[in-house]
Amino acid sequence: MAGDSRQQLRSANPIVYVGATPVFVDSEPDTWNMDPVLLKEAIEDRHRKTGRYPSAIVLVHLYGMPAKLDEIMAVARSSRSAARSIDGIASG
């Protein structure tokens, strides 16, 4: 599971509770939310090392600033991550 580095404990605890391994992605300077470029790099690195894609991407919108959802969704779709469930909520 990939999560935003600025939301360390709040995002990581539920991930650890279910036996998954959190992978933190740093923030970008425009919104202080998950950086789509670094997310893609983290997913590619994990796939290279383990042969697996993340089961989920945990996205937290900080300080009233929405994350770059379109860019993050594009990364999720291109990496076969859990994009379908997020898309249903974001677009529904």
Alpha helices for the chain (secondary structure H): 8-17, 36-50, 69-78, 83-91
What the block records as the tokens of 55 is 């089961």
Res 35: pLDDT? 95
Relative orientation angle of helices 36-50 and 69-78, to the nearest 10 degrees: 20
Tell me which residues of the chain have a pLDDT lower than 50: 83, 92
Res 45: pLDDT? 93
Res 83: pLDDT? 47
Domains of the chain: 2-91 (3.40.640.10)
Q: Confirm whether pTM is higher than 0.85.
A: no
Res 39: pLDDT? 94
